[in-house]
Amino acid sequence: MIYLEKRPQPSRSLSLLTPVYAVIITMIAGGLLFAALGKNPVEAIRTIFWDPLFGQYAFYYRPQLLVKGGPLVLIAIGLSLGFRAGIWNIGAEGQYIFGAICGAGVALALYPMDAFFIFPLMILAGALGGWAWAMIPAVLKVKFGTNEILVSLMLVYVADQLLAKMSLGLMKNPEGFGFPGSRNLQEYPSAHNAELIAGTGMHWGVVFAFIAVIFAYVLLNKHILGFNIRLTGEAPRAASFSGVKPSRLILFCLGMSGALAGLAGMFEVSGPSGQVNIDFAAGYGFTAIIVAFLGRLHPVGILLAGLLMALTYIGGDIAESQLGLPSAAIQVFQGMLLFFLLALDLLTNFRVRFKSGAAA
């Protein structure tokens, strides 16, 4: 008989190791899945994890690592602040979309003006847009006690509709021959979030992601606000005794995660994606939830987890095109990672024991 025994203290080494274990088990389970689909599992796993970094066309894929990882890390850092305090923003995807719409809106409104201040203004608009979108669940929670999980999640679908409306209406490119989608911002130098160093994928969004990692690290470890966030997550009553005002924390955490998601959206729309279009939302906001937990809600962990998830994105694309794996299988594969991580989390607090005995 197998049973679980509670550990006197959570195992520190296991809490660091479970992400590694989760990756390994995901590879095994994913391999079985791919085998069941009639593909060679070893080849599929190699295509996903090895080819983008060291394969024949790695020079093309490597920059993608930063392009895909940047927004993931930026969003996940914001989410992790709230998650630490038990405030669950599930709607980063919506804030990402709304930030992109606001950022692009500034550029499209000023087109074709050529000025240095346009791009900074877009950054500001993107952050504010994401912040405002996140303030909806935040204010509703503070004023009326609504559940931020539901409200933020449902606002994703509202943002999605708004995005479609914008791509087909207000922001549609007047010179676009009737096709949906705005002007391509890559062709508007004042608004283009261009690669900073050619061939690396490094753009302003990636820079902001690194800054966010450092900012979050300092906030959580050196500042009283970060202490209050951790305290609220670990012992809410002690936090209220300590003088933490829960409503302020809710506004801060949701606002911060919204602003960072909005920034990510704005850097994406003005850079790699280039235009406001129906298919702009690529699921970064949802994947970032996985990234935040995979990184143990720790800024440095999130940085590593973001790069890993980016790798599975890129590798997944390659596997789709070269091996003909269905994209749903790739998504299942990514989902497995969080699934196994959460399952293995049990082991940090419990140990598995085997006992032989009469069946009860």
Residue of 118, 159, 231, 276 that binds other proteins (CB under 8 A): 231
Under 8 Å between Cβ of 102 and 126 = yes
CB of 227 to other proteins, least distance (A): 6
Q: Which of residues 86-145 bind other proteins (CB under 8 A)?
A: none
Residue 1 found at the interface with other proteins (CB under 8 A): no
* DSSP state for residue 355 in the 8-state scheme: -
| CA atoms of 83 and 358, how far apart (whole Å) | 43
- The CA angle 55-61-64, to the nearest 5 degrees, is 150
**From 2, 6, 9, 12, residue interacting with other proteins (rule: CB under 8 A):** 9
Residue 235 binding other proteins, by CB under 8 A: yes
234 binds other proteins (CB under 8 A): yes
Under rule CB under 8 A, residue 248 binds other proteins: no
Residue with tokens 């240095």: 116
In degrees and rounded to multiples of 5, residue 176 shows phi and psi of: -100, 15
Sketch the per residue contact string, 205 through 224, with other proteins: x for CB under 8 A, - otherwise.
-----------------xxx
Q: Shortest approach of other proteins to residue 216 CB, angstroms? A: 15
Question: Does residue 230 touch other proteins according to CB under 8 A?
Answer: yes
Secondary structure in 3-state letters for 32-89: HHHHHCCCCHHHHHHHHHCHHHHCCCHHHHHHHHHHHHHHHHHHHHHHHHHHHCCCCC
Give SS3 for 180. coil
Q: How many residues in the shown chain lie near other proteins by CB under 8 A? A: 18
Question: Of these, 115, 245, 247, 324, which contacts other proteins (CB under 8 A)?
Answer: 245
Give the Cα separation of 127 and 292 in Å (integer). Answer: 20
* Nearer of residues 9 and 356 to other proteins, judged by Cβ: 9
Binding site for other proteins (CB under 8 A): 9, 222-225, 227, 230-231, 234-235, 237-243, 245
